[in-house]
């Protein structure tokens, strides 16, 4: 079945359903929804445990794809990182590498990121960090102190 034939069939089915539901009374609508609910209950009850679990998993995947297409779902997600978020379901998310350098300050940046975004085109500059002093004793002195203390001596 070609794509066009399938789309035409689905469109005619939608129109037929729309017309039939537009003309049905409240009583007919209640009866239809009740029959649908009973049919769903019977179908779910007849499923085996594994089949039901697979059906639920497929539904979760489908819901994830629907959420992926919703931009509001992704609002502020960068600020609240969730490692369990399945990024391939979200076509808006592209995780790249920091492969470019800023032409002004030399900071690593993403390939498509605007130039000078990190330093405002060199309008913002941070002072170099001073070299930190060593907080640990040199190992020989520390070893000598430990040995001498163990023997009750002092340096």
pLDDT tens digits along 61-83: 777 766 656 666 666 766 677 77
Q: How far apart are CA 40 and CA 23, in angstroms?
A: 24
Instruction: List the one residue out of 74, 110, 78 whose CA is nearest residue 90.
Output: 74
pLDDT in tens, 96-119: 788 888 888 888 888 878 777 788
Task: Using the structure block, give the residue that is written with the tokens 């007849």.
Answer: 46
pTM of the model: 0.30
Residue 14: predicted pLDDT: 92
Q: Is 17 or 79 the better-scoring residue by pLDDT?
A: 17
pLDDT of residue 12: 93
Nearest to 113 by CA among 102, 105, 104: 102
SS3 (DSSP) at 125 = coil
pLDDT higher than 90, residue 145: no
> pLDDT at residue 153 above 80?
no
Q: Which two tokens stand for residue 22?
A: 């537009």
- What is the average pLDDT score of the chain? 79
For the beta carbon of residue 109, count every other beta carbon within 10 angstroms. 19
pLDDT band at 15 (very low <50, low <70, confident <90, very high): very high
Spatial contact of 139 and 131, defined as CB atoms under 8 Å apart: no
Of 35-39, 50-54, 149-153, give the range with the top mean pLDDT. 35-39
33 with 21: CB under 8 angstroms? no
pLDDT for residue 79: 65
Question: Is residue 125 pLDDT above 80, yes or no?
Answer: no
């Amino acid at each position: 079945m070609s794509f066009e034939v399938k789309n035409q069939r689905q469109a005619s089915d939608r129109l037929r359903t729309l017309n039939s539901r537009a003309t049905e009374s409240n009583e007919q609508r209640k009866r239809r929804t009740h029959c649908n609910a009973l049919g769903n209950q019977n179908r779910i009850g007849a499923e085996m445990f594994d089949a039901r679990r697979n059906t639920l998993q497929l539904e979760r995947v489908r819901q994830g794809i629907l959420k992926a297409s919703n931009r509001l779902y992704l609002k502020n997600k960068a600020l609240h990182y969730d490692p369990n978020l399945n990024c391939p379901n979200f076509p808006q998310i592209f995780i790249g590498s920091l492969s470019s350098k800023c032409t002004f300050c030399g900071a690593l940046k993403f390939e498509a990121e605007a130039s000078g975004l990190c330093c405002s085109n060199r309008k913002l500059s941070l002072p170099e960090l001073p070299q930190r002093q060593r907080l640990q004793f040199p190992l020989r002195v520390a070893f000598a102190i430990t040995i001498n203390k163990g023997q009750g001596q002092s340096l």
